[in-house]
Amino acid sequence: MRVYLAATLPLLTGWWETGQAPPGPAHAVTPTLRESYRDGSTDEMEYVAQLGAARAALDLLAADPEILRRRVVLAVDVPDLDVAADPLAGRSAVVVGVAVPVSAWASALIDDDDAEAVVSAAVTALGAAAAGDDDAAFALDEAAAQELGWYAVQELPDLL
């Protein structure tokens, strides 16, 4: 199963150095997501799962005000039996029950320099958006509209 892990650049660096991403929350095409996109293609549903991970990356960025404001989404392949849906956390939310070695990483999606201002505004708006502020929700939408750059796994050492 293709799974999308939210991260930050420091987290990704640490995972690279240890040779694996830890078990934990992620996003994937779940039965709940499939049901809500009955007419959508698999590619469209994968994109929605990626967006879920990118949104989760905002929360990780909010936890550390000192790091670069760039979302990171790591696409990995995990055996279906090692992934459990977490519908209370969202329609694409899952929990990966095992560490994912670098050999199972497919690619990384990372914001470029141009996205930092928009991502920073979204991180700042998280609390207000959760409280229902429409302007803050718009800031989150602006970040979601920023396309993440695609990187092959073999490019990560140069990037990090």
pLDDT digits 0-9 by tens, 35-78 = 888 787 889 999 999 999 999 999 999 999 999 999 999 999 99
Q: Give the dihedral sign, CA 65/106/145/134.
A: negative
Q: What is the DSSP string of 84-152?
A: EE-GGG-TTEEEE-S-EEGGGEEEEEE--GGGHHHHHHHHHHHHHHHTT-HHHHHHHHHHHHSPPEEEE
**Two tokens at 90?**
């969202």
User: Global pTM?
Assistant: 0.93
